[in-house]
Structure 1
Amino acid sequence: MDIASLRAFVTIADQGSFSSAAERLHLTQPAVSKRVATLEEELNARLFDRLGRGVRLTEAGAVLLPRARRILAEVADGCRALRNLTGIVTGSLTLATSHHIGLHRLPPVLRTFTTRYPQVRLDMRFMDSEVACGVVLRGEVELAIVTLPPNVEPPLEALPLWTDPLVIVAARTHPLAQVTRINPQQLSEHSAILPSEATFTRRIFEAQLAQLGVT
């Protein structure tokens, strides 16, 4: 079971097809297929079901995937530790973040980072905060800069970086815009555009309203 075959397997699982995985790995599709075939032969198990142009993990593939991620993460960590003995930080950093944070918060931070560590290759992936926490748990990325979930449970670790205020915005012609001081109950009397129910921001907002007795 070699690292190249495991990396091909994980990339196919992430990308959903052999062709997309080959493109991401900068390999030909036959080369990727051969690596997976070698792995399947060694394990005596089929890892993917072919579905048209896409693939789906078999039961054996689903069992192997989290273990393969851990192996690749350990190998990458070991290589990084050895490189860092030289005092020069190199390698890659895979980072997940939301579009809002990526556009409004990260540009100056990333500019400083790339200036300080020019030999580190950044791989940024944009997604909702909830999805980003999931990919960190699965080992698909090394860290995520996101809206913090209401509750952070192990094995995730969270470090608050800044506070973003949540505010309610209304048009100048809206009835509430004419009120000097708004009580929470008044908010429940008007329709509002809110983030999706699945988002951390929505959960935080509703939790605050619930504390004020507004449902």
Structure 2
Amino acid sequence: MELRQLEYFVAVAEEENFTRAAERVHISQSGVSAQIRQLEHDLGTSLFDRSGRSTKLTPAGRAALRHARSALAAVDAVRQAVDEVNGLIRGRLVVGMVTACTVTPLFDALSAFHHQYPGVEITLLEDTSDRLMERLRAGTADLALISTAGTPPPSLESYEIIREPLVAAMPPAHPLCAEPEVTLADLTQHSVVSLPTGTGVRKVFDEACAAAGVHMEIAFQAGAPSAIADLAIRGLGVAILSDSLVAQHRPHLTTRTITDIPTEPVLSLSWSTTDNPALRQLIHHCHTSFSRPAPIPSPLPEPVL
């Protein structure tokens, strides 16, 4: 009995088809069939019922499947343990980030990690915070930069990066600029431009409006914070953003504190499990990158989305 025979056996059992199994393991169908026949000969019994349209496990095959999977998993665990000791981490990581959120320390961490572990393939994706959390919980993403309301994402491990209050941003000639600070009720007298639902900023804003019992007219929404700022600069509404992002658009935009929004958006690096040694190393690089002192002169603060 050979490990490759167990691999082919599991592939045929899961695909219920020799052709699809052969495509999955990247050898010819005749090669898979020959190895399965040899495995059946060694075990002294048939593992598959080949009489129907699809290939079904026999009772003996069903009994063997769980053990075959366990044997392959054990081999993977041995290989992974040795790779960790030797520093030969391999595999694939899916890293998510809030759409249009340019956070330089994350890119620095990815770059340092890639140079140390070039055998790990990294896929970077952008999405809303809500969908990124769903991906982490479903296991289709390994690590994500997520914005939430007030606290880091529940049921996930997180490293909080930054939190800051929301502000109203508008051109210097806007009527609200005459006030030292504004309330949600003041904003109801004007059009508002905002990020879409599913983002931390929008959730904080919507929850504050609901708590204050005010209805807000959202004139425009866009997934990129820079687009929100550009809309506000052109007089299409008051932008609801974090102050650090608006700072990049001064003097075209002026900000005012919104006094009755008690919750702050929180930008966190989140993950659901650290079973993957490559992920553990990437998290370590992220901790190092985000805790590193800013260079002189220091850049603008990173935006909270």
**What is the match of residue 23 of structure 2?**
31
3-state DSSP of counterpart to 2:135: helix
Q: Quick one: higher RCO (CA 8 Å, sep 6+), 1 or 2? A: 2
**What is the match of residue 95 of structure 1?**
95
3-state DSSP of counterpart to 1:202: helix
Quick one: structure 1 residues 197 and 122, their matched pair in 2 at CA, closer, same or farther if it must change by over 3 Å? closer
**What is the match of residue 187 of structure 1?**
187
Task: Quote how far apart the aligned CAs of 1:148 are.
Answer: 2.9
**What is the match of residue 245 of structure 2?**
none
1:196 and 1:125 mapped to 2: Cα distance? 18
Task: Quote how far apart the aligned CAs of 1:5 are.
Answer: 4.7
1:76 and 1:203 mapped to 2: Cα distance? 45
**What is the match of residue 153 of structure 1?**
154
**What is the match of residue 58 of structure 1?**
none
Gaps of at least 5 residues in structure 2 are: 1-5, 16-21, 33-52, 58-69, 216-305
Quick one: structure 1 residues 92 and 188, their matched pair in 2 at CA, closer, same or farther if it must change by over 3 Å? same
Kindly report which structure 2 residues correspond to 1:13-92, keeping only aligned pairs within 5 A, or say none: 31=23, 41-42=54-55, 78=77, 79-92=79-92
Task: Quote how far apart the aligned CAs of 1:145 are.
Answer: 1.6
**What is the match of residue 251 of structure 2?**
none
3-state DSSP of counterpart to 1:169: strand
Return the structure number with greater strand share: 2
Deviations 1:12-33 (A, max 9, x none): xxxxxxxxxxxxxxxxxx936x
The residue identity in structure 1 corresponding to 2:188 is S
Task: Quote how far apart the aligned CAs of 1:128 are.
Answer: 1.8
2:198 and 2:135 mapped to 1: Cα distance? 16
Matched residue count: 163
3-state DSSP of counterpart to 2:123: strand
Quick one: structure 1 residues 80 and 162, their matched pair in 2 at CA, closer, same or farther if it must change by over 3 Å? farther
TM norm structure 1: 0.56
Deviations 1:86-111 (A, max 9, x none): 23433322212223335655222322
Q: Cα RMSD (Å) of the superposition?
A: 4.1
Contact 1:84/1:90 (8 A) holds in 2: no
Contact 2:129/2:198 (8 A) holds in 1: no
Deviations 1:133-166 (A, max 9, x none): 1111111121212213666333x33331223553
Task: Quote how far apart the aligned CAs of 1:42 are.
Answer: 5.0
Task: Quote how far apart the aligned CAs of 1:173 are.
Answer: 2.5
3-state DSSP of counterpart to 1:193: strand
Deviations 1:69-101 (A, max 9, x none): xx9xx7898354441022343332221222333
3-state DSSP of counterpart to 2:176: helix
TM norm structure 2: 0.42
| 177-186 or 125-134, which deviates more | 177-186
Gaps of at least 5 residues in structure 1 are: 10-29, 45-70
Identity of aligned residues (%): 20
**What is the match of residue 126 of structure 1?**
126
